[in-house]
Structure 1
Amino acid sequence: MNSETTYLTDLAAVLWPCGGLLGRGGGLLGRGGLPARGGDPTLPRDRTVPRDARRYRVREYLPVPSAHNPRVILPVANRYVATRGITAFSHRHTLRDRLRTTVLTAAFTSGLAPFLLRDRLHVGSGFTIEHALSSALDREVLVAIHLGPPRASRKPVLLLLTPAGRAVGYAKVGINDLTSRLVTAETRALRRLAHSRLQGITAPRLLHVGEWNGCPLLVQEALPVGHNTDRPNRRQLLRYVLRIAHLAPVSEHPLSRSPYLETLTSRIDALSARPEAPALRSALAQLPDVRVPFGAWHGDFTRWNIAATARRAFVWDWERLTFGVPVGFDALHYELNECVQAGVRPGVQQWLDRGIRLLRDPLMANAGIPNSAVSTVMALYLIDLATRYLHDRQAEGGGRLPAVDDWLLPALNGLGERAAREAPRAG
């Protein structure tokens, strides 16, 4: 068993505490003993198995593309659910991913997928996550599960579907300390957003909040994302960034007297055992004391978390929503993730130029970002991002980006020099 099959069996122990085995054809890939947490193969005592539990049974799953590289887990018994799961989780991915999706969709639609994909996750009988979700939503649901690539914040995202393949919602389960904090944070964020006015932006509604197998669980509605939506253009992107920034009143302060600086400094100080902490502390101390507008940011504003029509954006994954940060962070985060698609180091160099153009756009300038603060805001974003990665231990978790001292700190050095040159031009 490699680290991915170990992850898969550990995950199965959370979602299906009744037990399971990974298999290939007639032989076992490895035994995932899969006991329930605490050695109890049942749910907490206040839960009971529904009388009609048998009709929810989906006992065999396909790890796709394989158990050694699982990205999606799909039920073998229902091709409608499997096909919908493949297409839903490929939205706004790369051309290569979309081609793979086309092939897999054809395989599931034709019924050939179970013959072409040999790996199986066999789940024993008992009360499972499907039963709990069906009970919470008062309707029968089956699940297709997205895992994504290895990283510290990796957690299962369950697409909830009717047996006919219609999307009902998405569920998230925290499976360790970090992902549990993120699920809890997203629950708080969605509750706040339910009472906020976000003109032109739709966030998911909460459908259910609870626990499963000792882990935090949230269920949110499925947004109408599909062929009628696309990535936002630059004008739309900046408009949505500013609307999110105004979830709370935007205030302008000199950096040295901002609550944000105090918070960021404390977060860096908490990294004292990390060798990167002194470089981050030094970079922060050398930034000029320019005036900066502070507001809210989504925290993970990327092509994977937004879809737009001509008049509206659908935005999800609000687990990183934070208030009192420099306006423009969301635009910089979106652009960085776009730039690094073709390679991290050349992408970062491209971002250093494109980020300037984004923050100097008239929309951002009208929001209060002066030219004298552009490089400072970009440097603050990189310091904030590095601090997050180090707290989350992203490099150790197998994230796609290399360690921060390999790409982020060198970029930060150049930004600090540029920020110092800009500052004297402040009126």
Structure 2
Amino acid sequence: MTSETTFLTDLAAVLWPCGGLLGPGDGSMRPRIRRGEQYLPVPNARGPRLLLPAHNRSAAVRGISAFSQRHSLRERLRALLLTGAFATGIAPLLLRDRLYVGEGPGIEHALAAALDRELAVAVHLGPPRANRKPVLLLLTPGGRTIGYAKVAVNELTSRLVRAEAEALRVLADARLADVTVPRLLYEGEWNGRPLLVQEPLPVGSQTDRPTRRQLLRCVSRIAGLVEVRERRLSDSPYRRSLEKRIDALGARPEAAPLAEALHRLPDVHLAFGAWHGDLTRWNIAGTARRAFVWDWERLSLDAPAGFDALHYDLNECVQDGVHPGVHRWLESGARLLRDPLMADLGVHPDTVSTVMALYLIDLATRYLHDRQEESGARMAAVDDWLLPALEGLQERAAHEAARVL
């Protein structure tokens, strides 16, 4: 068994308490498993990104549509081919692997009872990461989307699912002009693990990735979830919290350089507000007038203004490679923070590199606490790219601050 096939069988034990068994789709395992309880790992069991019901074409097609990113021609072609294969019924013939789940009530039954309606599911898995967890698309028998469910699979994802449920409760009482967030429909437990269901957002063919102006407008709206205040870095609760998080890393070799980098940053005045915490192309879509934002599990109400813009831009820059992407980000991120919309938020040109350095220190601390490198996440090796980038930013921050201190 590979790590990915092990992940699949472990996941099956969470979603379907009787467990699951991987096997071929040639019918040889049918006598051992109740007929009809089959899911197709897509593209295969060695690198699964989706689990689609083998005998529900409508749910499978909707799952492909809902979870396909379609940000490139290759992704759009892949989604088109998969959709055609499931719509015509030939997908079970082309995809050789099956996940056969055991008899008895599964996650579908629990969700149907919680929402008091009949439903079908398709499951998104995503790439290997420490915070990887199943996201279930919930559909009516006719194929209409009811919502999305998240189920924790370990300690980290349990914390994140609970955090997102709390974030959605906070956001329900907030007024975010021009930004729509999902409502929390249900919170509970399944198989001893946290579970939440949130409503679907109206995104699709009429929405797209945000333009620069739309992104920065959204970043400003999110920062304004709380009163944006200017504080000296040394006096900020944010810095004290970050110091504690670095201290909690203990004897990890990266902890000392991160603490030293934080200590060396100039003690400038910064604007502090809220940040989404994971604003990327996968968590935002929009129109000219409105942004739709989801995946709020990392929401924080106290961080330097501009973090969301930097996070979005970094993830865009590294799509074609981490090292060249980070090199581009050191310039493009600075340009974003010098935009007039960021100045209106309180980001001063002479503090740009300090904000960027703080963002990298924060991101590195998160990766290390989450043990992302052990899961194989491509950006998680902080000593490979993040610490070197941080050294250059420290020098820039000192030069910028010298003009105002």
TM-score range, shorter chain: over 0.9
Residue number in structure 2 paired with 1:22: 22
Which residue, 98, 122, 125 being the options, matches 1:120? 98
Per-residue Cα deviation, 1:7-52 (whole angstroms, up to 9, x for no partner): 00000000011232111144989xxx99xxxxxxxxxxxxxxxxxx
Q: Identify the residue that residue 180 of structure 2 maps to in structure 1.
A: 202
1:263 maps onto 2:215 in alignment:
no
2:350 is aligned with 1:372:
yes
Q: How does 1:298-309 map to 2 (within 5 A)?
A: 298-309=276-287
* Distance in 1 separating the partners of 2:314 and 2:391: 17
CA contact under 8 A between 1:173 and 1:217: conserved in structure 2? yes
Corresponding position of 1:337: 315
Q: Residues 177-200 of structure 1: CA distance to partner in whole angstroms, max 9, x if unpaired?
A: 000000000000000000000001
Residues 43 and 49, structure 2, Cα contact 8 Å, conserved in 1: yes
Query: What is the aligned counterpart of 2:301 among 300, 316, 323?
Result: 323
| Alignment-derived partner of residue 12 in structure 1 | 12
| Maintained 8 Å contact 1:340/1:348 | yes
Alignment partner of 1:393 is 2:390: no
Alignment partner, residue 150 of structure 2: 172
- Structure-to-structure mapping, 1:16-415, within 5 angstroms: 16-26=16-26, 59-415=37-393
In structure 2, C-alpha distance between the alignment counterparts of 1:365 and 1:28, rounded to whole Å = 65
Moved more, 371-380 or 89-98: 89-98
CA contact under 8 A between 1:78 and 1:163: conserved in structure 2? no
Percent same amino acid at aligned positions?
A: 69
- For residues 253-279 of structure 1, the C-alpha deviation after alignment (integer angstroms, 9 at most, x for no partner) is 111111111000110011122100111
SS at 1:395's partner residue? helix
Contact 2:70 2:79 in 1 (8 A): no
Give runs of ≥4 in structure 1 deviating > 2 Å. 25-29, 91-98
- Once the two structures are TM-superposed, the CA of residue 202 in structure 1 deviates from its matched residue by 0.6
- Matched residue of 1:303: which SS? coil
Mapped contact 1:267–1:387 kept (Cα < 8 A):
yes
Taking structure 1 as the reference length, the TM-score comes to 0.92
Aligned-pair distance for 1:102?
1.1
Number of matched pairs: 403
Name the amino acid aligned to 2:119.
V
Instruction: Provide closer, same or farther for how the CA distance between residues 415 and 362 of structure 1 changes in structure 2, counting only shifts above 3 A.
Output: same
CA distance in 2, matches of 1:274, 1:302: 28
Question: Per-residue deviation at 1:58?
Answer: 5.1
In the other structure, the counterpart of 2:394 is 416
Partners of 1:21 and 1:28 within 8 A in 2: no
TM-score, normalising length from structure 2?
0.97
Q: Equivalent residue of 1:160, what SS?
A: strand
CA distance in 1, matches of 2:250, 2:72: 38
More deviation, 395-404/6-15: 395-404
Work out the CA distance in 2 between the residues paired with 1:383 and 1:21.
42
> For the residues of structure 2 that align with 1:359 and 1:106, how far apart are their CA atoms?
43
Secondary structure of the equivalent of 1:148? coil
Tell me how large the CA RMSD over aligned residues is. 1.7
Once the 2 structures are TM-superposed, how far is the Cα of residue 402 of structure 1 from its aligned partner?
4.6
The alignment partner of 1:171 has SS state of strand
Structure 2 Cα separation of the partners of residues 400 and 221 of structure 1: 31
Q: Deviations over 1:54-87 (max 9, x none)?
A: 9xx9511101001111100000111010011011
Preserved CA contact (<8 Å) 2:353 2:397: yes
